[in-house]
Amino acid sequence: MNTKVSIIVPVYNAEQFLEETICSVIRQEFRDWELLLVDDCSTDKSAEIAEACAARDERVKLICQAKNQGAAAARNRGVKEAEGRYIAFLDADDLWKPQRLSAEFAFMQEKHAGFVFSGYEFGDCEGNGTGRIVHVPERLTYRQALKNTTIFTSTVLFDTKRIPKELIFMPLVKSEDTACWWNILRQGHTAYGLDENLALYRRSRETLSSNKLEAIRRIWNLYRNVERLSLPYSLYNFAFYAVRAVLRRI
């Protein structure tokens, strides 16, 4: 049985955090994994850091994009080259708890699921938890997910025997991860939430202050131009999204 998890990390100018992120993978209790670091033409020392880590652990692999194409394309390159049956995503500045993979893998087998995700904690730019933990629902269908965007990219796990790889490829739109989850769920799949804090979402002050309006624009674009929802139904879902987004941050 192939139990290998392919962990895909899009890397772009992440030298400040990358080694710590890689170490959080190496410390996983679950050992059957490969780490695909997809460098998107970084101009800092990210590729050198990734190469040095790969030299120390054969499970770590550096993949270099020919040109800068963004995080979605980098993740898709990783999905294409993944050897594992299971796919997990991790952003280059986020951190995993040591039990992240083992807990989600066991949860996935228990639920006979193809798509699982977990809770997480907001962290500061130094990687310290702030105590603000996001709890997740037991399950999400497509209609439920339109109102509840708590699926965090660095917590998802897919079984490609249940969720075809072609569905895991992310569209080249803003908020591509949310668009991907919705597309998978729209096909009739269900996402199961493990309500345990298994990851740390690192956020800088710049992220907090500058991305709020952009996040609103992105989610609205998904409703109207990607999902092609009617204006009333978009407003209905957006109201729930906005309330939950605020609650996650207080």
Contacts of 28 (CB under 8 A, 6+ apart): 96, 98, 99, 100, 101, 102
What does the H/E/C string look like for the chain? Answer: CCCCEEEEEEECCCCCCHHHHHHHHHCCCCCCEEEEEEECCCCCCHHHHHHHHHHHCCCEEEEECCCCCCHHHHHHHHHHHCCCCEEEECCCCCEECCCHHHHHHHHHHHHCCCEEEEEEEEECCCCCEEEEEECCCCEECHHHHHHCCCCCHHHCEEECCCCCHHHHCCCCCCCHHHHHHHHHHHCCCCEEEEEEEEEEEECCHHHHHHCHHHHHHHHHHHHHHHCCCCHHHHHHHHHHHHHHHHHHCC
Phi, psi of 126 (to 5 degrees): -85, -5
What pLDDT was estimated at residue 115? 98
Report the CATH fold assignment for 1-93.
Spore Coat Polysaccharide Biosynthesis Protein SpsA; Chain A (3.90.550)
Q: How far apart are CA 171 and CA 197, in angstroms?
A: 28
Beta-strand pair 191-202/115-123: parallel
Which stretches of the chain score pLDDT less than 50? 207-210
What pLDDT was estimated at residue 208? 44
Measuring CA to CA, which residue among 126, 61, 117, 121 is closest to residue 97? Answer: 121
* Cross-strand partners of 193: 117
109, two tokens: 């087998």
Q: Which residue carries 């083992």 as its tokens?
A: 102
Domain with CATH 3.90.550.10 in the chain: 1-93
What pLDDT was estimated at residue 249? 56
Tens-place pLDDT, residues 97-142: 999 999 999 999 999 999 999 999 999 888 888 899 999 999 999 9
Q: How far apart are CA 83 and CA 49, in angstroms?
A: 23
What pLDDT was estimated at residue 204? 64
Q: How far apart are CA 154 and CA 147, in angstroms?
A: 20
User: For 119, how many CA atoms within 13 A lie in the half-sphere containing its CB?
Assistant: 14
